[in-house]
């Protein structure tokens, strides 16, 4: 339950791994005085190849961990978990839980024409869930939607092959249908994909490319402001990082996502 007295509590953010750090990066820009607790479920990543039942169980366990940390808001920074794992959460969870899909749909609706051509890139699970597609059809019934599962992009990004020719070749292969259709808007339906935004823009120079972090940050700030929950501290907020597997790899890869934050040291925990 939202209460003004909880304004000094941290915001909890979880993801199946490191991808949610792009959401943290966006949140820090608009909410620089908020404290955050980040959970990366690195032992069980990726969620995109799991069954719906497994994704729901993992999501619930992630939420339960953050609830034990006493947070004022929980953000599901994983598109797959937002599409599947947030369905049917127990009623006893009174802390607000926000996924990445609804904020994205709101931003798309603000920027799209009524009969826009819209592309969606995501993991297999996110694309197969049809969560984005069904919500877009409700918001923009006349829109033409192209959805593409891109399972190779996450491992390429985590290897820091962002500007590598192999990554450009894979991107071009995935984006060929969109290059032909020249969409008005492209949704990056995975929190890893913003790191490829520049490369994608080279292939789709006339397309408005939207990512989860920026869309979500706008919604989070509006929610906190409306409920008088903005942290009033003057100093920059702090971030605590937790992972479910060895922190060594996470700490290394996290530098790719958050280059301006030094000494990222995640604590390994068991859910």
Q: Return all residues near 259 (Cβ < 8 A) that are at least 6 apart.
A: none
Catalytic residue among 23, 71, 78, 229: 78
Residue 98, strand partner residues: 75
CB distance 154 to 192 below 8 Å: yes
Cα 224 vs. chain centroid, distance in angstroms?
A: 19
Q: Is 190 a catalytic residue?
A: yes
CB distance 215 to 103 below 8 Å: yes
Q: Is 76 a catalytic residue?
A: no
Please report how the helices 131-139 and 101-111 are oriented relative to each other, as an axis angle in degrees rounded to 10.
40
- Give the DSSP H or E segment for 189: strand 185-189
* Unique residue bearing structure tokens 């607790």: 37
Among 109, 242, 252, which Cα is nearest to 185's?
109
Q: Read out DSSP for 152-170?
A: THHHHHHTT-TT-HHHHHH
Please state, in angstroms and rounded to a whole number, the distance separating the CA atoms of residues 175 and 79.
Answer: 19
Catalytic residue among 190, 209, 217, 264: 190
What are the residue numbers of the active site?
78, 190
């Amino acid at each position: 339950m939202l209460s003004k007295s909880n304004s000094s509590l941290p915001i909890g953010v979880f993801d199946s791994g490191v991808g949610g750090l792009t959401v943290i990066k966006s949140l820090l820009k608009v909410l620089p005085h908020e404290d955050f607790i980040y959970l990366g479920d690195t032992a069980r990543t990726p969620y995109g190849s799991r069954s719906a039942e497994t994704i729901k169980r993992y999501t619930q366990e992630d939420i339960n961990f953050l609830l034990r940390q006493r947070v004022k808001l929980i953000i599901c920074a994983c598109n797959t978990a937002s599409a599947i794992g947030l369905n049917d959460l127990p009623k006893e969870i009174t802390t607000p839980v926000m996924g990445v899909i609804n904020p994205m749909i709101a931003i798309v609706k603000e920027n799209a024409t009524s009969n826009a051509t819209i592309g969606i890139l995501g993991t297999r699970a996110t694309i197969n869930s049809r969560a984005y597609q069904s919500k877009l059809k409700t918001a923009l019934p006349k829109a033409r939607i192209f959805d593409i599962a891109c399972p190779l992009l996450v491992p390429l990004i985590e290897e820091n092959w962002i500007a590598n020719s192999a990554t450009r070749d894979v991107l071009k292969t995935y984006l060929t249908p969109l290059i032909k259709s020249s969409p008005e808007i492209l949704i990056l339906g995975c929190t890893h994909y913003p790191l490829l935004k520049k490369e994608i823009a080279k292939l789709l120079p006339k397309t408005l490319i939207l990512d989860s972090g920026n869309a979500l940050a706008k919604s989070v700030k509006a929610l906190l402001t409306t409920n008088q929950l903005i942290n009033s501290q003057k100093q920059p907020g702090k971030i605590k990082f937790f992972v479910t597997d060895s922190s060594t790899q996470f700490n290394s890869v996290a530098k790719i996502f958050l280059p301006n934050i030094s000494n990222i040291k995640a604590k390994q925990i068991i859910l």
